[in-house]
């Protein structure tokens, strides 16, 4: 077994390679750029960040066309990073790291909060702006050609929120971007926000008051509804102010609450149904759609929230890592409310799930792609394609390599849902390099790979921009 822990080493090189060495043949129709995001620096001075989610964001761009691959990487120049480098120590609180260790520091952080803009989770396009995202409502703009940071998106509205999902949805029929957000205080609320094409302001599509907000990394969307998955990992808002703990460590697992799915109508913001299920936890919604008077909602789930603890860096760098993968579970939510039925859709484990965003979003679909675990006790060491209708799976693996999130790039004239390629950045720790893998999405067989001259740390999410 190769040492996957190389994927949690910092990368300080920023390079531009006009043409990567390539094996195999890229499809002649494949033209566009895969931009990926993830942490690349896990320490400042003699201080280490605590969690995989906390490292400084770095963007990686693979530009494809005319049978060649160009590569560029660059740190996101966030205030969080710039202040830390200037001070020589961690300055802003992250997901699971809090620099305010003294009582004075904690008190001052209450009255002068500095939310992190370390946008290390995902990338998206908001109209003409390419943005890096994290779970604070501070989208960081970057130039898609050079990856240079160019500022933050300033929304022209008075919407006040403290967190915002790094997994927005784009409505296929309108092009409107939807986000889930939350505000904490004496009165807490979940908010669904919409950004219409050509607009610079967020509108509140729906709002729900809540006493103890749940940690929600993503949400679901159908043609008419938004689905909030209220896992029983909840927070007392006073603890966020007074305990002085990193953000996620204020949340408590309360399985007796079970799971609640809040189904909100997009047209008027009304909650049309609340459905209950057994306690569970999930980071990633896969897809949702309406069928036979129900909302069908597919999510990668875990029995509890200990997966968050498993992703602390000391655990990931130990000799006993978590596989970091869950199971694909389908929930059926009645629009009359009540208990939600649920079924496992496959025995194959997966995480970082992706679908064909163009044809499958908010519609009945057949395929989901993700990373999986082939060898017990290993980190994610294979790619998985699951047929959600039959539960069968196809896999790709190569000994001693570790693939990242698979991103689907469709054939421009594709006739089927899986007519295209799957793109994944794969770490080869023995060679201290990574490569861009191009798989045929139908057969799940390799078509090409392009090798990067350094190892890319394990990242989270990316998008293919045509």
Tokens of 310: 């498993």
Per-residue pLDDT tens over the stretch 223-232: 999 999 999 9
Give pLDDT, residue 133.
98
Name the one residue in this structure whose structure tokens are 């929120």. Answer: 161
Q: What average pLDDT does this structure show over 207-227?
A: 97
**377: pLDDT confidence band, cut at 50, 70 and 90?**
confident
Burial of 98 (0-12, 13-18, 19+ CB in 10 A): buried
**1: pLDDT confidence band, cut at 50, 70 and 90?**
low
Q: DSSP alpha helices (H): ranges in 243-380?
A: 306-310, 313-316, 357-360
Conformation bin of residue 309: beta by default, left when phi > 0, alpha when psi is -120 to 50:
alpha
Give pLDDT, residue 245.
86
Q: What average pLDDT does this structure show over 177-195?
A: 95
Whether residue 254 has pLDDT greater than 90:
yes
**244: pLDDT confidence band, cut at 50, 70 and 90?**
confident
Spacing of C-alpha 115 from chain mean position: 19
Q: What average pLDDT does this structure show over 398-424?
A: 97
Give pLDDT, residue 109.
46
Whether residue 102 has pLDDT greater than 60:
no
Tokens of 84: 């830390």
Strand partners, 462: 36
Q: What average pLDDT does this structure show over 294-319?
A: 95
Residue-by-residue DSSP string for 115-183: ------SEEEEETTEEEEE-SSS-PEEE-TTT--EEEE---SS----SEE-S--EE-TTT--EEEEEEE
Whether residue 240 has pLDDT greater than 90:
no
Give pLDDT, residue 322.
73
CA-nearest of 344, 390, 396 to 372 is 396
Q: What average pLDDT does this structure show over 448-458?
A: 98
Q: What average pLDDT does this structure show over 200-219?
A: 96
**108: pLDDT confidence band, cut at 50, 70 and 90?**
very low
Contact 258, 232 (CB under 8 A): yes
Q: pTM of this prediction?
A: 0.95
Per-residue pLDDT tens over the stretch 21-68: 999 999 999 999 999 999 999 999 999 999 999 999 999 999 999 999
Compute the mean pLDDT over every residue in the chain, rounded to the nearest whole number. Answer: 94
**115: pLDDT confidence band, cut at 50, 70 and 90?**
confident
Name the one residue in this structure whose structure tokens are 């566009």. Answer: 32
Strands 225-230 and 68-75: unpaired
**104: pLDDT confidence band, cut at 50, 70 and 90?**
very low
Tokens of 137: 């409502």
Give pLDDT, residue 105.
43
Whether residue 341 has pLDDT greater than 80:
yes
Per-residue pLDDT tens over the stretch 272-298: 999 999 999 999 999 999 999 999 999
Q: Where are the beta strands (DSSP E) in 259-396?
A: 259-265, 271-277, 285-291, 294-301, 327-334, 338-339, 341-344, 351-354, 367-372, 382-387, 393-396
Lowest mean pLDDT among 141-145, 355-359, 418-422: 355-359
Q: What percent of the chain has pLDDT over 90?
A: 88
């Amino acid at each position: 077994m190769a040492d996957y822990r190389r994927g949690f080493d910092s990368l300080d090189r920023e390079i531009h390679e006009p043409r990567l060495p390539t094996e195999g043949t890229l499809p002649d129709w494949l033209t566009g750029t895969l931009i990926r995001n993830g942490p690349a620096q896990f320490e400042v001075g003699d201080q280490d960040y605590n969690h995989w989610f906390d490292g400084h964001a770095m963007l990686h761009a693979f530009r494809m066309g005319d049978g060649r691959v160009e590569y560029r990487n660059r740190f996101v120049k966030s205030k969080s990073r710039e202040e830390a480098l200037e001070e020589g120590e961690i300055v802003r609180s992250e997901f699971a790291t809090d620099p305010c260790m003294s009582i004075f520091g904690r008190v001052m952080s209450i009255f002068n909060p500095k939310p992190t803009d370390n946008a290390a989770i995902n990338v998206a396009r908001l109209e003409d702006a390419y943005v890096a995202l994290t779970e604070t409502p501070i989208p960081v703009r970057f130039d898609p050609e050079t990856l240079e940071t160019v500022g933050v998106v300033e929304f022209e509205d008075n919407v006040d929120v403290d967190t915002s999902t790094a997994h927005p949805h784009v409505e296929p029929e309108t092009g409107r971007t939807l986000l889930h957000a939350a505000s904490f205080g004496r009165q807490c609320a979940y908010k669904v926000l919409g950004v219409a094409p050509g607009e610079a302001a967020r509108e509140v599509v729906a709002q729900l008051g809540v006493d103890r907000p749940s940690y929600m990394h993503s949400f679901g969307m159908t043609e008419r509804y938004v689905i909030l998955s209220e896992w029983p990992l909840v927070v007392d808002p006073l603890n966020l102010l007074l305990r002085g703990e990193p953000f996620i460590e204020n949340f408590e697992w309360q399985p007796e609450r079970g799971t609640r799915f809040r189904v909100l109508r997009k047209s008027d913001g009304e909650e049309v149904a609340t459905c209950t299920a057994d306690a569970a936890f999930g980071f990633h919604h896969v897809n949702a759609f309406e069928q036979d008077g129900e909302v069908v909602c597919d999510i990668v789930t875990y029995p509890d929230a200990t997966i968050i603890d498993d992703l602390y860096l000391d655990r990931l760098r130990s000799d006993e890592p978590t596989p970091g993968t869950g199971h694909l579970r389908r929930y059926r939510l009645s629009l009359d409310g009540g208990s939600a039925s649920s079924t496992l859709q496959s025995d194959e484990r997966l995480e970082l799930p992706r679908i064909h965003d163009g044809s499958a979003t908010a519609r009945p679909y057949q395929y989901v792609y993700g990373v999986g675990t082939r060898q017990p006790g290993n980190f994610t060491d294979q790619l998985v394609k699951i047929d959600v209708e039959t539960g069968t799976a196809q896999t790709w693996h190569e000994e001693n390599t570790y693939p990242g999130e698979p991103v689907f790039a469709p054939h421009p004239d594709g006739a089927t849902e899986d007519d295209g390629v799957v793109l994944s950045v794969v770490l080869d720790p023995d060679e201290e390099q990574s490569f861009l893998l191009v798989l045929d999405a139908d057969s799940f067989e390799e078509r090409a790979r392009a090798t990067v001259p350094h190892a890319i740390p394990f990242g989270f999410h990316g998008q293919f921009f045509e």
